Structure 1
Amino acid sequence: MTCMSKWIELENRLQKNETIDKGVQEQINRKREHWKKVLLRIIVVVRTLAKNNFAFRGDNEKIYQERNGNFLSLIGMIAQFDSVMQDHLHRIERNEIHYHYLDVSHEEQMSLVIRCVDVSTNQVKLEEFFLEFLKVDDTSGLGLFNVLKEVLCTLQLDIGDIRGQGYDNGSNMKGKHKGVQKRLLEINPGAFYTPCGCLSLNLGLCDVANSCPKAISFFGVLQRIYLLFSSSTKRWKVFKDHVEGLTLKPLSQTRWESHVKSVKAITYQAPQIRDALNHLENLGEPHNTKSEAESLATYEIENFEFLLGVIIWHNLLFAVNSVSKIFQREDMHIDVAIIQLKGLITFLEKYRETGFLDAMIEAKEVATLMEIDPVFCEKRVIRRKKQFDENISEEVT
């Protein structure tokens, strides 16, 4: 009866917004609205500078100092008339905010994001908040854990209330003996550790690609195509004149599943990109540019093996990227994540059996459209005379 009475009392308080967390939640909501307003003003300044092609930085990065660049100067000007930015800069001057604006200095940093349950309203919901970047001098498991403990204490967050933790797959974070997750579990056994699923997929893709020389060469060609057009406004205009849909994207070295954007542009626009390369070849460009354009058009885009690689990698990257995006949702639950991961495994197993044949059919359709023979180019076999003291094969590929 006592437990039932407490449950009924809690239900009544939830309906009347009279729970013990109400004050804390209201404070969090006020801070969230404040940071939204600050971010909105910063975005407006960034867009203005970018639109007019103005430089951001100056000789120093201190607010209210001479020669601190266009960005900080505009922020300071806005603060003279706007109470939100005025309060924000006062916090910086009082050292209440240590990392702000365009902080891209060569320092090790760790981001802190928390997820919490909001029970201050009738509808209980899960919230996620980015708090700040943490400067890190010691990147060992102990050093990172000490920084985490210190910031939680500063924010008046009880480490004993943590019910879950998740990091990347670095040994200093996930290490089962000296990692951050292990040290936190020693203090709070209820802080269940979950490795980052997105990063695990990312590392899996990276290992797959780096273990195959043809895959390394394939993505190298994608980057060559992008660099050829993007390194000159004149060449980029040639590309835009021939390709009206998706633009070329550079390859990301940290987010492998995002390679799908780079592959997608060629998957659906290979004929148009070939035409752009042919036009560039006949344009009055330097010899190295003409040679690169001819090489990419003739030996890569018009190569059936390359077209097949485009189809295969697009299918694989699209499947992994779709699951990765679902993993990053704020309302993601672990049971749903497990279902999605099992579905991806099933797709990969099926693709191993039938994917190559399906990709061949699709690649032949593209080759026919581009008037390319759907055959693989045979490598020339080098024959040399075997010396009297050799026992190896006389044919070397």
Structure 2
Amino acid sequence: MAENFVDVMKGKKESIVCKLSSFTKDLVKRNRHILGQIIRVILLLTKQNIPVRGHTEERSNFMAVLQSHALNDPILADHLRNGKENAKYTSPDIQNEIITLCADHVLQCIITQCKEAGYFAIMADEATDCSTKEQLSICIRFLTVNEGRYELNEKFIGFVTCRSIKGVNLAEAIVEYLQDCGLDILKLRAQCYDGAGNMAGKYNGVQALIRERVPLASYVHCKSHCLNLALVHTCKLQCVRTMMKTVQDIGFAFSYSAKRLDAFATELSQDPVSRAQMDGRQKLKTLCETRWMSRTDALTTFTQAFAVVVHALETLEADGDDKAGEHVRAILRFEFILTLVACEQVLSSLVGLTAILQEVNFI
């Protein structure tokens, strides 16, 4: 013992305290490395919109990518093989916690930038998600200065589950969420929604209720939504509605039947002109139910493949498909062809305008 003491004092050996300290540092460094790899995998999956989970935890996308990283990382490989079951940091609960922490960090960075800007605007819209719950999406817009130039920032900050779609409930939800994020509601200078009564109503709409609290928060009706409404009102003609329904029915008919899709593909392979016009697309597109401008691509595809559609339907009719016969007679009518071409031309010419209206820098 005395010899060890002398050696430690002379610096020939490390003391027990130093050894313990060194072991602790190495352990911390190892654990941070492992946790860092786990976080990188989760960020990769979330950035690429790849589901983290799988049918089982062992066969999930998360474990597959993590094990792939472990092939070139001995420390991570040893951890996955020999780590304690209660300290592997790979459980769904840990995954959710890491995702939540990352989301909170991103949100805090956005809020910090917004506070530095001084004033801000909000954009919000409600919709029903796949679980039939009303979700209100909220975005903020603010100016930042970069190298002496002002830049307009448009950031999504979260979804809010709504108890009701009445204007008073939506307004309360928006104000409460902004306050929870740490934003001063009195710094609000503009609010942008669609033209629905519960959002744009003069007395009980969200914009009116928020302006009671913040008089300087001017309301702006979403310009892209205005264009969409103009198209909806303009296209109330029966011939347009009939044409749209026919295109949708035929799109569904070819999309959900292997036999009909095979007939379409066969005809397309024999028509080099239509194949070139479709630019690699192999099937028709269905119409968007709400956004009329999103119908442009579907109508353009249908117009380009019109000859292919006709020949495919005629082939199917000859093979005993009565529904195909009804479709081919409907699309060969002059009124249908004229309406299809006219609508496709009008909508195509407005695609550029729609893109401009949806740009972040559009004011």
Report the TM range for the smaller structure's normalisation. Answer: 0.5 to 0.7
> Is the contact made by 1:45 and 1:71 (CA closer than 8 Å) also made in structure 2?
no
1:74 aligns with 2:105: no
Change (3 A) 1:185 1:75: farther
Measure the CA separation in 2 of the matches of 1:307 and 1:172: 39
Contact map agreement 2:42 2:99 (CA 8 A) in 1:
no
* 1:76 positional shift: 6.1
8 Å CA contact 1:260–1:314 kept in 2: the answer is: yes
SS state of the match for residue 109, structure 1? strand
Q: TM-score, normalised by structure 2?
A: 0.64
The separation in 1 between residues aligned to 2:184 and 2:217, in whole angstroms, is 12
Q: Does 1:40 align with 2:47?
A: yes
* Structure 2 unpaired stretches of 5+: 1-39, 67-87, 106-128, 269-274
Q: CA deviation at 1:227?
A: 1.7
Conservation of the 8 A alpha-carbon contact between 2:135 and 2:160: yes
> Secondary structure of the residue that 1:278 maps to in structure 2?
helix
1:113-164 Cα shifts (integer Å, max 9, x gaps): 1111122654321111111111000221111111111111111011111221
Relative to structure 1, the CA distance from residue 125 to residue 34 in structure 2 (aligned partners, 3 Å threshold; closer, same or farther) is farther
* Identity score, percent: 27
Q: Distance in 2 between the 1:36 and 1:125 partners?
A: 27
- For structure 1, list consecutive stretches of 5 or more residues without a partner in the other structure: 1-32, 50-55, 57-68, 98-102, 334-397
Deviation at 1:222, TM superposition (A): 0.5
Q: How does 1:1-397 map to 2 (within 5 A)?
A: 37=44, 39-41=46-48, 43-45=49-51, 69=55, 74=60, 77=63, 88-90=96-98, 92=100, 104-119=130-145, 121-210=147-236, 212-243=237-268, 244=275, 245=278, 246=281, 247-283=283-319, 287=320, 290-297=321-328, 299-333=329-363
Which is strand-richer, 1 or 2?
2
TM-aligned CA distance change 1:209 to 1:302, over 3 Å: same
Question: Residues of 1 paired with 2:59 and 2:147: CA distance?
Answer: 42
CA contact (8 A) 2:41 2:62 kept: no
The structure with more radius of gyration: 2
* Higher mean C-alpha displacement, 177-186 vs 317-326: 317-326
Aligned to 1:363: none
In structure 2, relative to structure 1, the CA distance for the partners of 1:127 and 1:228 (3 Å cut) is same
- AA partner of residue 97 (structure 2): L
Q: Helix, strand or coil: the match of 2:50? A: helix
Name segments (4+ residues, structure 1) moved above 4 Å: 33-38, 69-73, 78-83, 85-88, 90-93
TM-score (norm 1): 0.59
Matched residue, 1:377: none
Shift of 1:168: 1.1
Superposed displacement of residue 311, structure 1: 1.0
C-alpha distance in structure 2 between counterparts of 1:182 and 1:109, whole Å:
21
Partners of 2:314 and 2:325 within 8 A in 1: yes
2:251–2:286 Cα contact (<8 Å) kept: yes
DSSP-derived class of the 2:149 partner? coil
Note if contact 2:45-2:51 (Cα within 8 Å) is conserved in structure 1: no
